[in-house]
Amino acid sequence: MPPKAAKTPKPAKNTQQTRRIMRALEAQHPGADTELHYTSPYELLVATILSAQCTDERVNQVTPALFKRYPDARALARATTAELEPQIQSTGFFRMKSKALIGMAQAVVERHGGQIPASMEALTALPGVGRKTANVVLGHALGVPGLPVDRHVLRVANRIGIARSDEPVIVEQQLTSALPPDEWTRASDTLILHGRRICKPRPLCDKCAVRDDCEYYRKVVARAPATRTGRRSQGKDTPRSHGSHGGPRKRQTSPTDRAQRRKRRGEDN
Ligand code: SF4
């Protein structure tokens, strides 16, 4: 389900432009999908909780043994933090994560008979599960349209101009308004891959399929003075770069910084 439509700022791009831009990005990153390994909604939920402040690659190293020992929510609900912590230690924040995993599993057993619920409301009522995690599981493992907004989606969508907000829930609302539901999850996966490979904090605009449509490129990168090598300086370290998508010259906190602060406060992963 898309988030409730609050009064939100209008993105620079309209629906038609957003769909065209997403098609171009999907052509640049064909087959975009989550990189977490899973075989069930339970496994994806566990892997997504573990992926907070951790790479998918690291999570994928830890989960095979974990899923063997705790194959379902009932098994995980019986675990203790003392036995779980060493198994997930390498993913970071292991004390907080072990509490979240056990709390989530116990709630799934008590409230849903051990099955991962297929609704945003029920998922976000579970301990340790925020809107982004719920959307990951809904969209990839439960067949319910969901558009997870992580720091990559936040940065890339704002730069291009298909969204305009530092708040993930508002970006989710803007993107889901512009795209058909059956494209939400792939759009998120595509924006995440674009953020990891091309539109990094210091973006590789020369390799970008949507450069001609990008507000950040037009307002920030293209106006930056060329370096001695003839290349334009790009990204957050350039003197003309202010926040995620240009704007007045003042000290701004990037969406990434804000998302990380929210994570530290435990609002989502
Ligand atoms: S043109 Fe540059 S800033 Fe814009 S989306 Fe592409 S890589 Fe990101």
Q: In sequence order, what are the beta bridge partners of 226?
A: 232
- Domain span including residue 80: 41-115
Question: Is residue 87 in a domain?
Answer: yes
Smallest Cα–Cα separation from 56: which of 147, 152, 143, 156? 152
- CATH number, residue 200: 1.10.1670.10
| 33 in catalytic set | no
CATH number of the domain residue 111 falls in: 1.10.340.30
Task: Indicate whether 149 and 218 sit together in one domain.
Answer: yes
pLDDT value for 242 = 35
Asked, for residue 65, whether it belongs to a domain, the answer is yes
Whole-number Å distance, alpha carbon 200 to ligand 1 midpoint, is: 8
Same domain? For 172 and 216 the reply is yes
pLDDT value of position 152: 97
Split the chain (269 residues) into runs of 10 and give each run's mean pLDDT. Answer: 66 98 98 97 98 96 98 98 97 97 98 98 97 98 98 98 97 98 98 98 98 96 69 43 38 47 46
117 ligand 1 Cβ < 6 A: no
Query: Is residue 25 within 6 Å of ligand 1 at its C-beta?
Result: no
pLDDT score, position 9: 82
- 46 shares its domain with 81: yes
pLDDT in tens, 55-105: 999 999 999 999 999 999 999 999 999 999 999 999 999 999 999 999 999
* pLDDT value of residue 225: 79
Residue 135 counted as domain residue: no
Q: What is the pTM of this model?
A: 0.83
Residue 140 lies in a domain: no
From the CA of 160, how far away is ligand 1's center (Å)? Answer: 7
Catalytic residue among 7, 13, 99, 132: 132
Total domain count for the chain? Answer: 2
Token pair recorded at residue 45: 């939920």
Residue whose Cα lies nearest atom 2 of ligand 1: it is: 205
Kindly state whether residues 178 and 203 are assigned to the same domain.
yes
